[in-house]
Amino acid sequence: MAYETILFDVSDGVAKLTLNRPERLNSFTVAMHEEVTDAFARVEADEAVRAVLLTGAGRGFCAGQDLGDRAVAPGGEAVDLGASVERYYAPLIRRISGLDKPVVCAVNGVAAGAGANIALACDVVIAARSAKFIQSFANIGLIPDSGGTWVLPRLVGLVRAMGLALTG
C-alpha cells in the first residue's frame, strides 16, 4: 500500500510511524486510519521489528478526528461518530495496547481528543516541553472516546481525569 497521510519505515528493528498531515495537526481521516492499520499489520507480521516509534510531523502530534472529513451538507444525514469510534478508533487502541512489541510515542505540541488517547495507549510516552494533552471532547458535546474513559483515570487518578474530561 502506498501511504499518503503517514510516513513509515523500518530500520535496525524499529518501525517508525509518523502521522503526516501537519497542515491539519495530523488529525485522522478515514484514509489515515486505513494507512495506520496497514502499517501496524506490517509491524505485527515482521519478526525483525522489535519496537515501534509513533510520532507526528510538524508542530503537533495529533489533533484527533479531522471533523472536516466528517462534514455534513446542510440538511444532510448526521454523521454517526459512534460508528467511527467502533470501526476505527477502538480497533486502533486495542491494536496498540495489545501489540507484543513496545510502542513508544513521541509527542510534540498538541495531542488532543482521540490524539491524546492514542498517545496514552502506548507503552511509553515521551513528551517534548511543547506537548499539551487535551481532552477536548466536552467542547463538542462528547464523552472521551478512544480509551479515554478507561486509561486516563488509571494514569492520572479519577479526580484529575474527571477535571480534564469535564472542562476540556
The pLDDT-based confidence of 14 (bands split at 50, 70, 90) is very high
What local confidence, expressed as pLDDT, does residue 137 receive?
61
Highest mean pLDDT among 25-34, 67-76, 79-88, 155-164: 25-34
Q: Is residue 162 part of a domain?
A: yes
Q: Helices 114-121 & 148-156, crossing angle to 10 degrees?
A: 60
As a whole number of angstroms, the distance between CA 82 and CA 89 comes to: 10
Residue 160 sits in a domain of what CATH number?
3.90.226.10
Residue 74's H or E segment, with its range, is: none
For the stretch 129-132, contacts whose Cβ atoms lie closer than 8 Å and that sit 24 or more positions apart, written own/partner, are 130/59, 131/61, 131/107
CA dihedral sign of residues 30, 46, 50, 9? negative
What local confidence, expressed as pLDDT, does residue 144 receive?
66
CA dihedral sign of residues 38, 42, 44, 50? negative
Q: Is residue 94 part of a domain?
A: yes
Q: Minimum mean pLDDT among 13-22, 62-71, 98-107, 155-164: which range?
A: 155-164
* pTM recorded for the entire structure: 0.86
- Closest to 107 in 3D by CA, of 121, 93, 90, 91: 121
Alpha-helix runs per DSSP H in 46-113: 81-84, 90-98
Q: Is residue 97 part of a domain?
A: yes
What local confidence, expressed as pLDDT, does residue 75 receive?
67
Collapsed DSSP state (helix, strand, coil) of residue 71: coil
Into how many domains does the chain fold? 1
The residue range of the domain holding 85 is 6-167
Q: Give percent of the chain above pLDDT 90.
A: 60
Q: Is residue 18 part of a domain?
A: yes
Residue pLDDT, tens place only, 86-144: 788 889 999 999 999 999 999 999 998 889 999 999 999 999 999 998 776 666 666 66
Q: Is residue 1 part of a domain?
A: no
Q: Is residue 101 part of a domain?
A: yes
